[in-house]
Structure formats: structure tokens, C-alpha cells
Amino acid sequence: MEKPRPNPNTKLRAVLFDAYGTLFDVYSVGLLAEQLFPGKGDALGVLWRDKQIEYTRLVTISNGGAHYRPFWDLTRAGLRYACKRLGLDLSAAHEEQLMNQYRHLSAFPENREVLQALKARGIVTGILSNGDPSMLNVAVKSAGLDGVLDHVISVDSIRKYKTAPEAYALGPKATGFDAKQIAFVSCNSWDALAATWYGYQTLWVNRYQLPFEELGTQPVHTGSSLRDVLSLPFH
């Protein structure tokens, strides 16, 4: 059941960011993909991402989670499927090149500036991600964000991916704040929707000017850049 919609003026104490698609550009693999498979790079990047997310849902809802696999494994499985679907000959060498690129995804340029500004205000900051701990550790360090995050929370500890409520519950557990006191920031509309249902003060960062999900609930806040986080009502 959806929790009562939070008051958008509630004073916030913490900010949790989705990682993949929000802090790290999942489509930045397209440049390497285009070099390896000319004319198919963008298509591969999109299909790979879609299949990766589809697999997280499949292993979460099927057989009580008995088929859970770490996000890294699902990312590799999604790459293999996408290449087969597009008729691309994925050699072992190319697979490792693309997976290594995914491990070091490009970070959006405003990330550090925003996180530093939040820390200067005394706001608790963190990541709440489907990524497994080793993936997140490399991504955070590669982007130079390890000094501006109080928490890096992986769903791997509960073996359930977002949008499972148990995944979103990791945020209040880690920070000690109620969900209504936490801004949850995501560029993924499905993630922003489920986090709103859970009870977070959500900010959907609509980088690509897309429509929101048509399921009767809107995010608490909407923006077009991570900088819009700084306009939220903090304590």
C-alpha cells in the first residue's frame, strides 16, 4: 500500500542518490560500443540497460528471490543478451572491454559540486543503489566522490533489487531518519515512482525531458539537473 504522500515542505535531513543513471551515466558506454560495433553503439547501450533492469526485476520477484545474482552478473548477462539480439559478435575481449567501461562509467559533471554543497550545509549524503558493493566502490572512487558521501548502500545485503520496498527501507535504516525526512534523487522515473510510493521526498531529475510514468502518482519534486537538489527544503 502506498504510504501517505509526504509534505513537500517537510524539512529534510539527508539526501540519497540512485547511482546508475543518476550519478553515473549508464549510456556513456555507447562511445566504446560504437567503436567496437560501428553504427550499433547507441542501440547496444539502450538495450543493454533495459535488459539489465529487466533482469533485476525478474530475479527479485521470481521464486522468492531464489535466482538472485549480483548486479555485476546481471550487467554481464544483459550485455550478452543485447549483443545476441542485435546480431553482434561479442568476443571475450570485447566483452571484457565493455564490462570494464561499465565499471568506470562517466560521472555527470555537477555531481561533486552538488555533494560538496550539501556537505557544507551539514546534510547527510549517500547512495542507495542496485549496484553490488565492489561495483559501487570502484565507481565512487573513479568519480572522486568517496570524500563527499556518508553512506554507500547496496541492496546486495538483502538480495532484493529496487523496486522492492525492502530495498528502499535500507535508507532510513542506514541514516536513522524517517523516509519523509530523506530526499531520494533519481533520474529513473520507475525508481522515483517506487520511492514516492515508499514515502521518500523524491526528486525526479528529468535529464532527457521524458514523460513521467502513467500510474497516478507524481514525484514530490521534479528537476532537470542534480543542482535542483540544492533548492529542496533542508533543515
CB within 8 A of 212, min separation 6: which ones?
189, 192, 193, 204, 206, 218, 219, 222
Looking at 11-110, list the stretches that DSSP marks H as alpha helix, in order from N- to C-terminal side: 30-36, 41-61, 71-85, 92-103
Exposed, middle or buried: residue 27 (CB in 10 Å: 0-12, 13-18, 19+)?
middle
Active centre residues (catalytic): 18
- Longest CA–CA span in the chain (Å) reads 54
196, three cell numbers = 514516492
Cell matching residue 38? 560501428
Q: Which backbone phi and psi does 72 adopt, to 5 degrees?
A: -60, -45
